[in-house]
Amino acid sequence: MADETPACANCEKTAAAANLASLKACAKCKTTQYCGRDCQKADWKTHKKICAKNASEAFVEANAEHSNTYSAGRLKDLEKHEPKPFTRLDEGKYLHDRPEKDVFKLLIDSFRMRQADDFNLEHKTTPNSVYAGASSSIVPFRQYLAKAATRRNILPSWWTADKQKECEAFGESGAWSDLRRKVTKQEMIQHYGDDKMPMQVRMLAEAVYGVGTMGQDGSGARRMMMRMENGGSGNDQIMSMLNLARGR
């Protein structure tokens, strides 16, 4: 019988051979394992061709058993409760009808989450950001806001150049949503008190950039969540997504 001990996808060493307690899985797809960051970087050109597919399959399979209706909980640190955030995302109105400070926080944290994903999943370092050694990510955040302003209906009707300056100042005010600090998915969940919060801000960033991290399209997942918010089951959509993922 063949040895089924997991091995690094790059150097082919087992954890024991690499003198490690265990190998580490790719943070995006959770399926491919490496003995360390150097091997992961060395294998990226090959792995990225299948990573998105593996991640898609893992996503729909993980959600298949949780495919009943979904009701969004009240998020901590936001003044106004939005009961159907994924519906609002799909309608392009996620930031509309919210208090100014809530909008500032969501814009800042969607940008911070995207920076973290780009660094951790694609090994991309945003220029002039905290990931490139800058004390603050204010420069690329200004570019992010400028791009958001070119997208139809993303920003609320009250948004002006002065409001952008207020948002930038808030991002360096010492609040939790701070452009001078890196953030992780777990920190985002813990701060807002909802395990779907990283998905919300990632989808907001995708709407701004026009594409998700690693070129992924989150529209299928967004519509599945929207359907669940509105009282439908996600079963049909999950199975459709799963079949598409496996057929690629």
Cβ within 8 Å of residue 199, ≥6 positions away: 221, 225
DSSP state of 137: -
Q: At residue 110, does pLDDT exceed 90?
A: yes
Q: pLDDT averaged over the chain? A: 85
pLDDT of the residue at 68: 55
Residue 176 has pLDDT above 50, yes or no: yes
Rounded CA separation 65/216 (Å)? 23
CB-neighbour burial class of residue 40 (10 A; exposed 0-12, middle 13-18, buried 19+): buried
Q: What pLDDT score was predicted for residue 24?
A: 86
pLDDT digits (tens, 9 = 90+) for 67-91: 456 778 899 999 999 999 999 999 9
The pLDDT tens digits for 179-222 are 999 999 999 999 999 999 999 999 999 999 999 887 888 888 88
CA dist., res. 171 & res. 115, Å (int): 15
How confident is the model at residue 247, as a pLDDT? 46
Instruction: Please provide the DSSP assignment of 178-216 as one string.
Output: -TTS---HHHHHHHHT-TTHHHHHHHHHHHHHSS-GGG-
**CA distance to 69, 73, 195, 205, 240, per residue, from 233 (Å):** 6, 18, 19, 26, 13
- Over range 104-110, report the average pLDDT: 98
Whether residue 245 is predicted with pLDDT greater than 80 in this model: the reply is no
Q: For residue range 1-40, what is the model confidence (pLDDT) as tens digits?
A: 345 678 898 998 888 888 888 888 887 777 788 998 889 8
Task: Please write the tens of the pLDDT for every residue from 35-62.
Answer: 988 898 888 888 887 776 666 555 544 4
pLDDT score at 59: 52
**pLDDT average, residue stretch 108-134:** 94
Q: At what angle do helices 161-170 and 138-150 cross, to 10 degrees?
A: 140
Q: What pLDDT, on a 0 to 100 scale, did the predictor assign at position 121?
A: 86
- pLDDT of residue 238 exceeding 50, the answer is no
Q: What pLDDT score does 212 carry?
A: 87
Q: Whole-model pTM?
A: 0.72
Average pLDDT for 96-120? 97
Query: Which pLDDT value is given to residue 242?
Result: 40
pLDDT tens-digit profile of 133-166? Answer: 999 999 999 999 999 999 988 999 999 999 999 9
